[in-house]
């Protein structure tokens, strides 16, 4: 009797957060259908190279039953055999009886398990790249919209010189551009395990082809092409080198560090009430404090990103502890690590896109914060203007120093607004430049080349990187975020 779904543990990565596409990619249906596809590809290639006993009817039955998986039958077989691959060989043979004798011919379990993992990971990278492209495009639009809006910059989370809202967001955009490059590289560099035999020597296939080395090499090439890869690893043990897992998971963990940084910045800015992530009409921020609007999406990104950051250590340690031609202690951890890496990255990307597509900017709050700090920043401009009118720089500097300390005391000790400019207006010494104060305090003159940097970066780097995805970006893309 089946257990009620609420009476057993279910990973929240699937049940609560992940997209249907990514959850389906790492489902048993996809995994075992991929195994069957690999068995079919092997049979097609073996037959093409002259191996007898493989009929057209056998291959057609295999093709017709790729997705016809009887899990009950296979589970019973696995209980008896204690071997998942052989249970599936049996299950496939039951629905494709004309092929039963030649399924898995010459192969080892890792022919299907490893090659299927590589095929699924490459498809996973495609899904992630496509979603990241939409994330980058959404953030690009935000950067352009706010490229000219001055905002107070922070170093050490202390007030610094001004930047713009768009320029600050372009720092996030740059990190995501690097992640796009890394994911593309991982996808393009990924190689197939191929047809290598039990310890990687291809001995079983050499026997099948009566010592014909050329046909064994052709078999490897044919199956690789039939499975959608351009190149297979030149040598393997029983498994493909687990360094390939490192090359896939490392860019995902690196992306997680980008996402964590972005989400943390948004949380800080939300606390300052300058920027806010989307907040639904009926959303509740706190069960006790009705006024709260918590940045729960950004908090989720930080939470899941921390998990994704750690997963590369699993891959690295697995690579480091493989003995000779292989050891099975890689199996269980890879069943957990690889799907979770892709599912988590998928969830984080969806959440980022949701935020960037509806991020709210409170310009009045930003302007008010600038007005509190700008007087101190403008003092050098005022000194230079006074010197231009014939004043002594040292004397002017002393006047500014005294008035600045007085104003700082009002802010820090008495909790009042920064009144430095008012003090300057009331000091007769500064009469020569009073008519220029408004110009000297114009925040747009303190942002340097921030707007131009944003425009140049997007034109020369971002747009070029997105150009190959123009058709994809032309389609409507929405990312719903579950509670």
Q: Is 4 exposed, middle or buried (0-12, 13-18, 19+ CB in 10 A)?
A: exposed
The answer to whether 156 is a known catalytic residue is: yes
Task: Say if residues 33 and 69 touch (Cβ distance below 8 Å).
Answer: yes
Q: How far apart are CA 309 and CA 263, in angstroms?
A: 14
Q: Tokens standing for 428? A: 């007769």
Spell out the domains of the chain, with CATH numbers in brackets. Answer: 27-99 (1.10.275.10), 109-193+233-364 (1.20.200.10), 379-440 (1.10.40)
What tokens were used for 408?
Answer: 């700082």
Q: How far apart are CA 337 and CA 318, in angstroms?
A: 10
Residue burial 291-326, b: 16+ Cβ < 10 Å; e: rest? eeebbbbbebbbebbeebbebbebbbebeeebeeeb
The pair of structure tokens assigned to 435 is 């008519």
470 is catalytic: no
Under 8 Å between Cβ of 120 and 341:
no
Catalytic residue (one of 15, 271, 286, 392): 286
Classify residue 201 by burial, with Cβ atoms within 10 Å: 0-12, 13-18, 19+.
Answer: middle
CA–CA distance, 327 with 371 (Å, rounded to integer): 65
pTM: 0.90
> What's the confidence (pLDDT) of residue 361?
96
Residue of 102, 118, 176 whose CA lies nearest to 143: 176
Task: Please classify residue 151 by burial: count the beta carbons closer than 10 Å to its beta carbon, then call 0-12 exposed, 13-18 middle and 19+ buried.
Answer: buried
User: Which pLDDT does position 109 carry in this prediction?
Assistant: 93
Q: What is the rounded distance in angstroms from the CA atom of residue 377 to the CA atom of residue 384?
A: 13
Counting beta carbons within 10 angstroms of the beta carbon of residue 27, is it exposed (0 to 12), middle (13 to 18) or buried (19 or more)? middle
Question: CA–CA separation, 84 vs 106, rounded Å?
Answer: 18
Q: What is the predicted pLDDT for the residue at 3?
A: 59
Going residue by residue through the chain (483 aa), what tens digit of pLDDT does each one get?
A: 455 767 888 888 988 888 999 999 999 999 999 999 999 999 999 999 999 999 999 999 999 999 999 999 999 998 888 888 999 999 999 999 999 999 999 999 999 999 999 999 999 999 999 999 999 999 999 999 999 999 999 999 988 889 999 999 999 999 999 999 999 999 999 999 999 999 999 999 999 999 999 999 999 999 999 999 999 999 999 999 999 999 999 999 999 999 999 999 999 999 999 999 986 544 444 444 444 578 899 999 999 999 999 999 999 999 999 999 989 888 999 999 999 999 999 999 999 999 999 999 999 999 999 988 888 888 888 999 999 999 999 999 999 999 989 988 988 898 888 888 899 999 999 999 998 888 888 888 889 999 999 999 999 999 999 999 999 998 888 776 765
C-alpha–C-alpha distance, residues 302 and 306, integer Å: 6
Measured from the Cβ of residue 197, the count of other Cβ atoms closer than 10 Å reads: 20
């Amino acid at each position: 009797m089946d257990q009620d779904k609420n009476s057993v543990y279910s990973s929240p990565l699937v049940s609560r957060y992940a997209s249907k596409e990514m959850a389906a990619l790492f489902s048993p249906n996809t995994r075992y259908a991929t195994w069957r596809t690999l068995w079919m590809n092997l049979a097609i290639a073996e037959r093409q190279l002259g191996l007898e006993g493989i009929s057209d009817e056998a291959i057609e039955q295999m093709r017709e039953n790729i997705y016809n998986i009887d899990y009950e039958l296979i589970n019973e077989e696995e209980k008896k055999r204690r071997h998942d691959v052989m249970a599936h060989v049996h299950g496939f043979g039951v629905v494709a009886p004309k092929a039963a004798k030649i399924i898995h011919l010459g192969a080892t379990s890792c022919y299907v398990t490893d090659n299927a993992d590589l095929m699924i990971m490459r498809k996973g990278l495609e899904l992630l790249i496509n979603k990241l492209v939409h994330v980058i495009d959404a953030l690009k639009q935000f950067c352009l919209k706010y490229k000219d809006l001055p905002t107070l910059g922070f170093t050490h989370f202390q007030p610094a010189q001004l930047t713009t809202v768009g320029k600050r967001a372009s720092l996030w955009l740059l990190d995501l551009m690097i992640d796009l490059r890394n994911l593309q590289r991982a996808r393009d560099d990924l190689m197939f395990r191929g047809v290598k035999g039990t310890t990687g020597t291809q001995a079983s296939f050499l026997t099948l082809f009566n010592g014909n080395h050329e046909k064994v090499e052709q078999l490897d090439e044919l199956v690789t092409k039939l499975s959608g890869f351009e190149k297979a690893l030149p040598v393997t043990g029983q498994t493909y080198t687990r360094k390939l897992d490192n090359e896939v998971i490392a860019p995902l963990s690196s992306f997680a560090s980008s996402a964590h940084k972005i989400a943390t910045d948004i949380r800080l800015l939300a606390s300052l009430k300058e920027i806010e992530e989307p907040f639904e009409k009926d959303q509740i921020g706190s069960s006790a404090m009705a006024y709260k609007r918590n940045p729960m999406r950004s908090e989720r990104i930080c939470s899941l990103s921390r998990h994704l950051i750690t997963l590369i250590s699993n891959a690295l340690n697995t690579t480091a502890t493989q003995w000779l031609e292989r050891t099975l202690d890689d199996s269980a951890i890879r069943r957990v690590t690889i799907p979770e890496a892709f599912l988590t990255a998928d969830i984080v990307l969806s959440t980022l896109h949701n935020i960037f597509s509806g991020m709210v900017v409170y310009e009045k709050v930003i302007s008010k914060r600038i007005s509190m700090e700008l007087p101190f920043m403008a003092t050098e401009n005022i000194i230079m203007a006074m010197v231009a009118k014939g004043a002594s720089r040292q004397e002017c500097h002393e006047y500014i120093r005294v008035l600045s300390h007085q104003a700082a005391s009002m802010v820090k000790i008495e909790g009042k607004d920064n009144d430095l400019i008012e003090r300057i207006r009331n000091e007769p010494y500064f009469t020569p430049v009073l008519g220029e104060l408004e110009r000297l305090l114009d925040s747009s003159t303190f942002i340097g080349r921030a707007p131009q940097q944003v425009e140049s970066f997007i034109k020369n780097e971002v747009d070029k990187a997105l150009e190959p995805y123009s058709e994809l970006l032309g389609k409507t893309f929405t990312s719903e975020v579950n509670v």
